[in-house]
Structure 1
């Protein structure tokens, strides 16, 4: 496990840890060193609280069992409280994203009632809700109980990156500033090895591993900006810009599948998106209603509080005024 974030003295230095799944397998192969490390994480908070370490396995339980049969697994250590997050895998995200896109495409020819049905049947916002629910669970443990938390999915670079970054965004006001947010994406996605090339298939034919994990995360952040409109220094326009530039191949920031690959082959010959955006007139991406709040934000995973991200989903739709002219 790697520490992603640590709170200050008011939180008893409670910290967030991320990792990949343990490799127990069906034979239950245990590693004493791993168990000792997890035990040290459990007790690594000020005040010596004797509370079980919350371990959030972000996968559905059924998926974790399938992974265990293939040599993976999940924690069964003493002193740990294991909770399954129920977030679908990359294939489920890809299928829901395509169905949501089809719902948008059908809007101009379907009834309004059909639009709501199509959006619900896509399952896209069920996935958004699941991710935010896991983040809310971790935030509660850190903020209310001031205890350490460890999270993981299968490999630690998709669902884990989504939830860890959302938790940090809600727990730490620094990451809600413009510069802090850019640092958060670099740290939790780029540096921890999110597979941008494979997941977004930039300039390549998509494989079965193609999945818009990063775009899904951006919409999760968008929902947070709606729920807490004055807590973020940046506007949703920045999210849209990041999502667009992640697909254009203009910058080396979102190319490659690992930090090593980018460092050796891409960074020396490309521009950095972070440097570019900070050199631009960033005022257009600054929230005029921003008011710095040091308290932790509590995300609501209830879908009734969600709005469709129209600037993303309808960005290529003809403006209604133009449609009337064509008629």
Structure 2
């Protein structure tokens, strides 16, 4: 199939574009295999480039010979196109619908994208699992052994990268037998914070069932992560009654008699099964799109969505996991049902709280790569639906998990203005990259498929783009100061704020925020200049005092 077969009308003149808080643009609309392009007739610099893969749904309206297409995008943007001629409007609409729902892998945009910048750093090799294993081995020498290649062909667990780390006392055969957990997701460890000889792991639920089934290999593996006399905490992100109900379906939780050094704690976090999160997201987006100037109405809708309530639950559980490591000196195992939803939220945010390196740009990139991409989470599946779409995929919540991680890294910790090296703009760029899909780092679910399609040879990594020096300058927090301490964010309701860079990006003008940011940069640069002058005067004074003391000496 060729793109030309799907494009019925490649070009239409006199099309008018309407966007919130921006002047209308009249120009020529063109359709290519991957983009919708509108160029202004009056201003050659005014252009709209919209990827078809970013389009979620379209609505068609007609008034006489004038057709209107309202495009709702996966990044929450809404635009309107007025197209003269009913036939042209229908052709454009049907072409967009066909091009935005392509199923063929070889026709996806990352395989056609050619960077317009010099690739200074190969992002595909920036954060390798082997590097993380070396860090584990150096810090946890007393129990963590070499990386094992037992999962080289992804037979043990398709969600793990081919090399998998394991305790020193566990052989390869014993490690391979640990299929006792849902999804065969054996415990996956995250690098410990500096000066910590503890570990934080995540996994799927144990398949104990109603008969109390056991797995000696699993018990040995979990218990081997603790030194004699030490204890650990198992944080189950399900309520106790939910975990007990899971036993009837073959799941369950760890029995303390078989894991004697571990204490189990239940902390309930909403997940995709109840569809509560999806409904909350829908209500939140509806509230953000409400153009009413009534502040009370806006606050009422925001509260009714319960979105910030769920963020509080996630952050509270992450603080609990961090407290177990930092205050109790105990290792932590976090799991829910499959170990890939709320589990990822908790472990990712706990690392941000504990590890100052995760609060830097490269450290946060490494966290996303290590905890989300290398382990094969479902980014690509989640790019198929948004709050504007009537169908919700099972893994839509995974997309939300990435957003929550970035949100809480930059927003939930907002009282520490100087804590994250990257401001919300960087996290917003990372979020919107999920749906732009120009770079292939966030493409496809499993590393196994990425390797099969040779993404490293045929496409460009997201990190190759974002880690360019000129690009990083846009994202570095001007107030950033390295903080080597553990930071404990407040979970009080007044401390949690909505992520404006995502939810309100298209619904309010950024003029005044941009002006305030520029003024802040000006003040910071002025203070630096003044401080440099003060330091220079101090050096001159010190030199004069030295000369004077030399002259006075006998």
- Tell me the equivalent position of 1:171: 354
Give the stretch that moved more between structures: 203-212 or 55-64.
Answer: 203-212
Of residues 445, 452, 466, the one that matches 1:277 is 466
- Tell me the equivalent position of 2:408: 220
Cα distance in 2 for partners of 1:318, 1:172 equals: 35
Checking the alignment, whether the CA contact within 8 Å between 1:93 and 1:213 is kept in structure 2 is: no
Secondary structure, aligned partner of 2:393:
coil
Q: 1:77 to 1:34 in 2, by over 3 A?
A: farther
Higher relative contact order (CA 8 A, sep 6+): 1
Q: 1:320 to 1:38 in 2, by over 3 A?
A: closer
Cα distance in 1 for partners of 2:410, 2:248 equals: 37
Q: 1:200 to 1:74 in 2, by over 3 A?
A: farther
The structure in which a higher percent of residues are strand is 2
Cα distance in 2 for partners of 1:179, 1:161 equals: 19
Of residues 384, 405, 420, the one that matches 1:201 is 384
How far off is 1:320 after superposition? 9.1
How far off is 1:318 after superposition? 4.5
Secondary structure, aligned partner of 2:200:
strand
Instruction: Report matched runs for 1:67-86 at 5 Å.
Output: 67-78=246-257, 79=260, 80-86=262-268
- Tell me the equivalent position of 1:115: 298
Checking the alignment, whether the CA contact within 8 Å between 2:239 and 2:266 is kept in structure 1 is: yes
Aligned residues: 313
Instruction: Report matched runs for 1:42-53 at 5 Å.
Output: 43-44=226-227, 49-51=229-231, 53=232
What is the TM-score with the length of structure 2 in the denominator? 0.54
Runs of at least 5 residues in structure 2 that lack an aligned partner in the other structure: 1-186, 512-554
Checking the alignment, whether the CA contact within 8 Å between 1:253 and 1:267 is kept in structure 2 is: no
Cα distance in 2 for partners of 1:267, 1:85 equals: 39
Give the stretch that moved more between structures: 180-189 or 280-289.
Answer: 280-289
Cα distance in 1 for partners of 2:458, 2:439 equals: 10
The structure in which a higher percent of residues are helix is 1
How far off is 1:99 after superposition? 1.1
Cα distance in 1 for partners of 2:313, 2:456 equals: 35
- Tell me the equivalent position of 1:34: 218
Instruction: Report matched runs for 1:77-116 at 5 Å.
Output: 77-78=256-257, 79=260, 80-90=262-272, 91-106=275-290, 108-109=291-292, 111-116=294-299
Cα distance in 2 for partners of 1:249, 1:18 equals: 28
Checking the alignment, whether the CA contact within 8 Å between 2:412 and 2:495 is kept in structure 1 is: no
How far off is 1:181 after superposition? 1.1
- Tell me the equivalent position of 1:239: 427
